[in-house]
Amino acid sequence: MTKTRYYIFSLIAFAASALIGGHFLMRTDAGHKRAGPREKITIAYSTTTDTVLAEVAQMQGFYLQEGLEAIPQKYPYGKIALQAVLEGRADFATVAETPIMFAVLNGEKLYVIATIQTSSKANAIVARKDKGILTPADLKGRTIAATLGTTSEFFMDAYLAGHGIARKNMKVVDLKAEGLSDALENGTVDAVSAFNPYLIRMQKKLGNRVITFYDEEIYTKTFNIVATQEFVRNNPGKVDKVLGALIKAEQFVSRNPAAAQKIVADFSLMDAALVREIWQDTSFLVRLDQSLVLALEEESRWAVKGGLTGNRKIPDYMDYIYLEGLQSVKPTAVRILR
């Protein structure tokens, strides 16, 4: 063999070895920490049972495994967490679809990166029996409180409309989610539209003094992780790593529900029994479904028709959903028509 042929052969062998080694590393990297310095991100959390996968990823070190140092910011619910992102105080937020819809209608440039949780029993209307409210029809003409700009408001209108009650026939009071229970208890309002965990806490506190109206057919709540479009364009690698951590959390929750419930109870400072009760009506999957697009469109029509926004045009929500990240990390979880 000539010296030239020897060098060529050596280079080919080295290249093949590198490719095989690289392929092996890609396939076996899932449970190990990524090499290199960690990149910092800030996540604005809704400290409720709506953000199970994000909370588990934080406490189990899955962000660290993906090469991220995730700094948590805790907020009582998603609308306020989203505001932290819009004001540049956080990179990511966990939030339901209704505040996302209002933000988009107000001109904010957001991307939904993934849905991380869904439930058709996360919202309900709770009313005082001693005010004579025993059936949905008894709500007409009453004073009802909701947390406007959230799923609390949308569920209230959807439920009332489903029972032939127009919003104009109600007195609607805007309250923070954490203030709904006290308002109902002290008689300031006759009923409230609430979401978990405030809903279930209220039920436990007020017991048989109240009646709860659910409707699992009219509404399924989604909880999502979002970022500004500018952040996503500038940091696609960080987005992929966040998704990787959330998928690890999804697997952990599926295999270790009791341990995951304890993590959520500790992170959110909630009673473990309440966490277990909410858990059974909830799905914990990282995905992007067509149902999210349909929900955003439907809620936009509701907001426009009700005069809740100055925007009269329904956005194309495909411009506000970032498909590339989840497609690269877990393509089977993307089920959106394009």
Residues 6+ apart with CB under 8 A from 81: 44, 45, 46, 73, 75, 90, 93, 94, 95
**CB neighbour class for 316 (10 Å; exposed up to 12, middle 13-18, buried from 19):** exposed
What CA–CA distance (Å, rounded) separates 306 from 241?
A: 40
The residue among 306 and 16 whose pLDDT is bigger is 306
Contact criterion met (CB below 8 Å) for 43 and 73: yes
With both helix axes pointing from N to C terminus, report the angle between 52-59 and 257-268 in degrees, rounded to the nearest 10. Answer: 90
pLDDT in tens, 108-129: 999 999 999 999 999 999 999 9
Neighbours of 148 (CB within 10 A): 18
Contact criterion met (CB below 8 Å) for 184 and 210: yes
Average pLDDT score, the chain = 90
Pairing of strands 334-335, 143-146: unpaired
pLDDT for res 37: 82
pLDDT band, residue 338 (cuts 50/70/90): confident
Percentages of the chain per state (helix, strand, coil), in multiples of 5? 55, 20, 25
What is the set of domains in the chain, with CATH numbers?
A: 39-120+221-335 (3.40.190.10), 123-213 (3.40.190.10)
Residue 229: which H helix or E strand, with range?
A: helix 229-234
Residue 36 in this model has a pLDDT that exceeds 70: no
Q: Residue length, the chain?
A: 338
Contact criterion met (CB below 8 Å) for 274 and 289: no
pLDDT in tens, 233-262: 999 999 999 999 999 999 999 999 999 999
Q: Which amino acid is at 149?
A: G
